[in-house]
A = this chain, B = another copy of it.
Amino acid sequence: MPSYKAPVRDMQFLLHEVLGFEDLQSFEAFSEVDRDLADAVLEQSSKFAEEVLAPLNIVGDHEGCTRHDDGSVTTPTGFKDAFKQMTENGWTGLSLDPEYGGQGMPGMLGIAASEMWSSANMAFAMYPGLTGGAIKAIHTGGSPEQKQTYLPKMIAGEWTGTMNLTEPHCGTDLGLLKTKAVPNGDGSYKISGQKIFISAGEHDMSDNIIHLVLARIEGAPAGTKGISLFIVPKFKLDENGNPGERNLVSCGSIEEKMGIHGNSTCVMNYDEAEGYLIGEENKGLRVMFVMMNEARIGVGLQGVGQSEVAYQNAVAYAKDRLQGRSLAGPKEADKPADPIIVHPDVRRMLMETKAFNEAGRALLYWAAKQEDVEKHSTDEKLVEKCDDYLGLLTPVVKGYLTDMSMKTTIDCQQIFGGHGFIEEWGMSQFVRDNRIALIYEGANGVQALDLVGRKLARNGGRALMTLNSEIAEFLKENKETEGLSEFMDGLSGAQKKLTEATMWLMQNGMSDPNNAGAGSVDYMHMMGLSILAYMWAQMAVVAQAAIDNGSNEDFYPNKLITGRYFMLRMLPMLDAHLAKIKTGAAPVMALDEAAF
């Protein structure tokens, strides 16, 4: 059976040594969150992930969820108990608003804990994850009364939440949605329609399920300008705010999926269910997108989380499995064969995964810091910068990190040979679970289009210009540091190539928007490679300084070795992407539709 060990040392390195977690103490809200407290949280969270969630991962995959004739859904053995433990220990509210019972920790710490849970058991972690999204939406758009009614119970994990966007005929294109809301005259609405792919839509883990539902109020404008957001609780609340009468929403079926079997993916039928408007009429997408952006970071996190656990198990196998001899002569001559980690191609796959995981994690925590600062700083310029960075990089976090985690989880599975294909070894599950991350919360191609078509040009390209200046400054400061030339050269080269791609898109995307569309995924990958190069360069500076300061922890030279792999063996992809972008739309669009 696969296992998981939270990479706590790596997390501490990022939080405390590279990304300045302690900076957040300057904000009133986090003044007491010091290093010791953060480390205690990491420690406790890792135990919960390793001991409670990880053993249930393969159980969830194997059993899946079961829908009964009455529409109720049973989650896999152990899930309900684990969720109870999670709520009792306050994990569900870790970085949520203390005003409603949350623990008020920084998002930067919350994301580290979430990574652990997602690595240990992605399907399970989605239940609190989706609830977090629903909390965010109510927190952002709800009335004071709605917040008071729903948030404390949801933050405590007594109730869970869902997001209901997709309908059978509309996913990406929400303007097509048909679910209908008819005013009851008392401020509530009757919601009718069918929603599909609703993660955690129905289950047995909480006392109530708070569905957030996009619907169109009768007579609303067509398209995206006529969409409103509603709260539809599974059980309507009685006068004391407790779950009472059953609302007219039910799970029609659960989907048979490639992965995340432990999460119940439901078809939800709304049949004049009672719903309550969040925010203004026809402005539902605005609230939904606040939530979606956070969810997209969460999906990038799932990718890195699966890549990490796949890596750990592949390393264990590669050290244990004896097969063949090192090309450079036997390494363990007393054994019948060498462990397969001696083979360069096995190492190549491990190094690639390791180099990706460590920088991907850095990007995620860095993004979480931007969000913490944005939320708590009073420095307008700084807030603007954080918002710019998040806007620009959210599609990269979602799209690039999960494209890459697909590649790395497959590589880690490959290391197992035939055993990788057998379910009991668990590697197939990591690949299958990870697969959804490229699709939901906006398919990766849609992320790329969001990046190239919207985020890049917003405010005259301010976000990328600011980031480029920051990196230029960083390079200036560090370019002479001994031992770091590969990092500075790599980062500097990546910036130049990314700029070349950006210029090309700007010059050619205007005349034919398909030029931008045809190169969008390549561009997203270029930005992903560049930003990970920046993360590696920052980690390298810290590691080199520790060595120069006399540290004898192997951790630091090993960081440099891993980072050099990224610079030398992963950055060359930039040239391929750039060349593809510059071929423009013609090769992609030339074929007549009928000829496919």
| B324, A588: Cβ atoms closer than 8 Å | no
Beyond A166-B418, A258-B423, A421-B436, is A579–B590 a contact (Cβ under 8 Å)? no
| B579, A444: Cβ atoms closer than 8 Å | no
Q: How far is the CA of A479 from the CA of B344 in the complex (A)?
A: 40
| A587, B558: Cβ atoms closer than 8 Å | no
| A345, B176: Cβ atoms closer than 8 Å | no
CB distance from A585 to the nearest CB of B (A): 6
CB distance from A96 to the nearest CB of B (A): 28
Within 8 Å of chain B (Cβ to Cβ): is A330?
no
Of the listed stretches A116-124, A293-301, A378-386, A510-518, name the one at the interface; the rest are far from the partner chain. A510-518
Within 8 Å of chain B (Cβ to Cβ): is A41?
no
Of the listed stretches A132-140, A280-288, A531-539, A567-575, name the one at the interface; the rest are far from the partner chain. A567-575
- 8 A Cβ contacts from A242-272 to B: 255-259
Q: How far is the CA of A210 from the CA of B417 in the complex (A)?
A: 25
Beyond A417-B443, A444-B414, A596-B350, is A343–B517 a contact (Cβ under 8 Å)? yes
| A418, B439: Cβ atoms closer than 8 Å | yes
Contact partners of A421 in chain B: CB under 8 A: 257-259, 435-436, 439
Copies of this chain, complex-wide, total: 2
Within 8 Å of chain B (Cβ to Cβ): is A406?
yes
CB distance from A199 to the nearest CB of B (A): 10
| B422, A439: Cβ atoms closer than 8 Å | no
| B418, A171: Cβ atoms closer than 8 Å | yes
| A589, B443: Cβ atoms closer than 8 Å | no
Beyond A323-B173, A558-B595, is A448–B417 a contact (Cβ under 8 Å)? no
| B176, A337: Cβ atoms closer than 8 Å | yes
Q: Which of B336, B520, B592 contacts A558 (CB 8 A)?
A: B592
Within 8 Å of chain B (Cβ to Cβ): is A521?
yes
Measured CB to CB, the nearest residue on chain B to A424 is B256
> Which of A322, A418, A585 is the most central at the interface, judged by chain B CB atoms within 10 Å of its CB?
A418
Q: How far is the CA of A347 from the CA of B418 in the complex (A)?
A: 34
- 8 A Cβ contacts from A192-224 to B: 196-197
Measured CB to CB, the nearest residue on chain B to A444 is B414
- 8 A Cβ contacts from A146-174 to B: 166, 169-173
| A345, B445: Cβ atoms closer than 8 Å | yes
Within 8 Å of chain B (Cβ to Cβ): is A542?
no
Contact partners of A583 in chain B: CB under 8 A: 568-569
| B319, A518: Cβ atoms closer than 8 Å | no
Within 8 Å of chain B (Cβ to Cβ): is A1?
no
| A521, B345: Cβ atoms closer than 8 Å | yes
- 8 A Cβ contacts from A541-590 to B: 554, 558, 561-562, 564-565, 568-569, 572-573, 575-576, 579-580, 583, 585, 587-590
Contact partners of A428 in chain B: CB under 8 A: 257-258, 435
- 8 A Cβ contacts from A295-335 to B: 315, 318-319, 322-324, 327-328
Q: How far is the CA of A176 from the CA of B418 in the complex (A)?
A: 16
Within 8 Å of chain B (Cβ to Cβ): is A40?
no
| A172, B518: Cβ atoms closer than 8 Å | no
Contact partners of A591 in chain B: CB under 8 A: 347, 351, 558, 561-562, 565
Contact partners of A30 in chain B: CB under 8 A: none
> Which of A345, A410, A438 is the most central at the interface, judged by chain B CB atoms within 10 Å of its CB?
A345
Q: How far is the CA of A595 from the CA of B341 in the complex (A)?
A: 12
Q: How far is the CA of A528 from the CA of B251 in the complex (A)?
A: 49
| B166, A255: Cβ atoms closer than 8 Å | no
| B565, A327: Cβ atoms closer than 8 Å | no
Contact partners of A327 in chain B: CB under 8 A: 453, 513-514, 516-517
Contact partners of A351 in chain B: CB under 8 A: 587-588, 591
What are 5 sample pairs from A and B whose C-beta atoms fall under 8 A apart? A341-B596, A347-B588, A348-B588, A564-B590, A572-B580
